[in-house]
């Protein structure tokens, strides 16, 4: 699909990736999350998606040293698929 991933797709893929590893409530890096996407994305494409999710208050953002930036899921729209209490 040409439109994959949308911001919603990206957030879902990230939630699945972190949930499967028991790290839904933890902080993660933009480079560390790269394997969560079903399609190979460039670092620039990932940065655009993550920034859009930060702008919409789905993710927190913390600039890291060097190339990495750090994020944490603040909320999502996937109901009970990823329990919010695991995020808080």
User: Is it the case that residue 1 has pLDDT exceeding 80?
Assistant: no
Predicted confidence at residue 69, as pLDDT, reads 95
Band of the pLDDT at 87, cuts 50, 70, 90? low
Q: What is the pLDDT of residues 21-77, one digit of tens each?
A: 999 989 999 989 999 998 889 989 999 999 999 999 999 999 988 889 999 999 998
The CATH code that applies to domain 7-83 is 1.10.10.10
Q: Domain residues of the chain, as ranges?
A: 7-83
d(CA 47, CA 81): 25
Mode of pairing for the β-strands spanning 69-73 and 59-63: antiparallel
Residue whose token pair is 């698929």? 81
Spatial CA neighbour of 28 closest among 64, 57, 1 = 64
Band of the pLDDT at 3, cuts 50, 70, 90? confident
């Amino acid at each position: 699909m040409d439109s994959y991933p949308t911001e919603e797709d990206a957030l879902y893929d990230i939630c699945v990736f972190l949930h499967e590893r028991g790290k839904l409530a933890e902080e993660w890096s933009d480079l560390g999350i790269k394997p969560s996407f079903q399609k190979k994305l460039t670092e620039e494409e990932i940065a655009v998606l993550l920034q859009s999710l930060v702008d919409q208050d789905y993710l927190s953002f913390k600039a890291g040293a060097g190339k990495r930036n750090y994020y944490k899921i603040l909320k999502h729209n996937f109901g009970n698929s990823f329990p919010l209490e695991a995020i808080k």
